[in-house]
Amino acid sequence: MSTIFRRVPALLASGCILATIGAGVASARMAGPEVFRATQAMSYVVGSKRAIGYFQSVAGQCQLTLMVAEATDPDAGQAPSAARLSFGMAPGQSVSLGSVEGESIVATCGAGGETLEVRRNKVVRS
């Protein structure tokens, strides 16, 4: 069994990774907003946290599921357990996930709940 699967059981148990196999993982390194389709995987580092998830289109709305945990090196030791967050959003509605370090992501439900736009707000350090 690989090191990652032994050390991140909470994320695997959530099913968010299994539900998105083959959908591809979007990179949070790109500039500007990213647009996701239903069940497409997303992964972001937000300050000292990592958020991994997907959304589903349900009755014309976006049902967003994120697993949030400490962003740790999988080879450094046992990863802490994650917390699962689920949000139901009407088209045009947004939710924000922020860190103490000042970084955040804002997810906005698209028309008819068909897409989800994620905008990353990074800290500008002087």
For residue range 44-63, what is the model confidence (pLDDT) as tens digits? 999 889 999 999 999 999 99
On the question of pLDDT at 31 being above 50, the answer is: yes
On the question of pLDDT at 7 being above 50, the answer is: no
**Band of residue 81 on the pLDDT scale cut at 50, 70, 90:** confident
Q: First CA to last CA across the chain, in angstroms?
A: 44
**Per-residue pLDDT, 89:** 97
**Per-residue pLDDT, 13:** 37
Query: What dotted CATH number matches 3-121?
Result: 2.60.98
Cα separation, 8 vs 91, in Å, equals 33
Count CA atoms within 13 Å of residue 86 on its CB side: 6
**Band of residue 34 on the pLDDT scale cut at 50, 70, 90:** very high
Contact 10, 69 (CB under 8 A): yes
**Per-residue pLDDT, 126:** 53
Contact 115, 36 (CB under 8 A): yes
**Per-residue pLDDT, 123:** 65
On the question of pLDDT at 14 being above 60, the answer is: no
On the question of pLDDT at 11 being above 90, the answer is: no
On the question of pLDDT at 73 being above 50, the answer is: yes
